[in-house]
Amino acid sequence: MSRTLIIVALVGLLVGCTTQGEGEPDASVEATASAAASASGGTAGTASPACAEAFAPLVEMDIISMSELGDLSAEVQPTVEACESVGDWIAGAGEVIGGEVNPGSADFPLRVHCEDLSMARTPICEELG
């Protein structure tokens, strides 16, 4: 009986992991990204100079996806500190991975960094609230 329960639980976890991220992106992150881009006068595709500089070391690493970027916690932390907003960070990440970043996929790595109390006062973490 317990073996069956374990198998059912594992199947449920696998299904949950494979369907994760296929839903609609977090509307609050999308709204925040576009609002930040509008407020700064920039476009969603252009990072501020400080943000672009923080992402510069990552450009040389040939990162092609947000999941690869999310795995580089120590390298991503300076970008969270340097970027002015979520929209700014998304623009910088887009320059690193060579394409457009879905705001929903940026939400998780940003929130992980914002759980660190030393990051709580950064503009991005305050914006994510």
Q: What pLDDT tens digit does each residue of the chain (129 aa) get?
A: 445 445 444 444 444 444 444 444 444 444 444 444 333 333 456 899 999 999 999 988 888 888 888 888 899 999 999 999 999 999 999 998 888 888 888 888 899 999 989 888 999 999 998
The domain total for the chain is: 1
Q: What is the pLDDT of residue 62?
A: 85
Q: What is the pLDDT of residue 122?
A: 93
- The model carries a pTM of 0.65
The 8 Å CB, 24+ separation contacts for 63-71 are 63/96, 63/97, 64/97, 64/98, 65/97, 66/93, 66/97, 66/101, 66/102, 66/105, 66/106, 66/109, 68/97, 69/93, 69/96, 69/97, 69/109, 70/108, 70/109, 70/112
Question: Does residue 48 lie within any of the structural domains?
Answer: yes
Question: Does residue 116 lie within any of the structural domains?
Answer: yes
Question: Does residue 18 lie within any of the structural domains?
Answer: no
Question: Does residue 99 lie within any of the structural domains?
Answer: yes
Question: Does residue 91 lie within any of the structural domains?
Answer: yes
Q: What is the pLDDT of residue 44?
A: 52
Question: Does residue 4 lie within any of the structural domains?
Answer: no
Question: Does residue 16 lie within any of the structural domains?
Answer: no
Range of the structural domain that residue 60 is part of: 26-128
Count of C-beta atoms within a 10 Å radius of residue 99: 12
